[in-house]
Amino acid sequence: MEKLLTVKEAAARLGTTERFPRRLIAERRIRYVKLGGHHVRIPEVALSEFIAAGTVEPVTVAWSDGRAVA
């Protein structure tokens, strides 16, 4: 069984307040597990996938005389 994170733990890993992961859940932008009532957990894998989906790879640019060259 995969590790489930509380909203507080997910926020700590993201470096945000608890409000951010709660908003992700409300907007259904991240997978989560409902444990009855108002209790939810975020699978550790889902948090990693969310981070990977938002990762932007750097672009290598060559410069000549202060200008970018293709």
Count the alpha carbons within 13 Å of 31 in the hemisphere toward its beta carbon: 12
How far apart are the C-alpha atoms of 63 and 50, rounded to whole Å? 33
Q: Which pLDDT value is given to residue 3?
A: 97
Q: Which pLDDT value is given to residue 16?
A: 98
**Confidence band of 65 (pLDDT split at 50, 70, 90):** confident
pLDDT higher than threshold 70 for residue 70:
no
Q: What is the pLDDT of residues 3-43, one digit of tens each?
A: 999 999 999 999 999 999 999 999 999 999 999 888 999 99
16-48: b (≥16 Cβ within 10 Å) or e:
eeeeebeebbeeeebebeeeeeeebbbbeebbe
pLDDT higher than threshold 80 for residue 68:
no
Q: Which residues pair with 40 in a beta bridge?
A: 34
Which H/E stretch holds residue 63?
strand 62-64
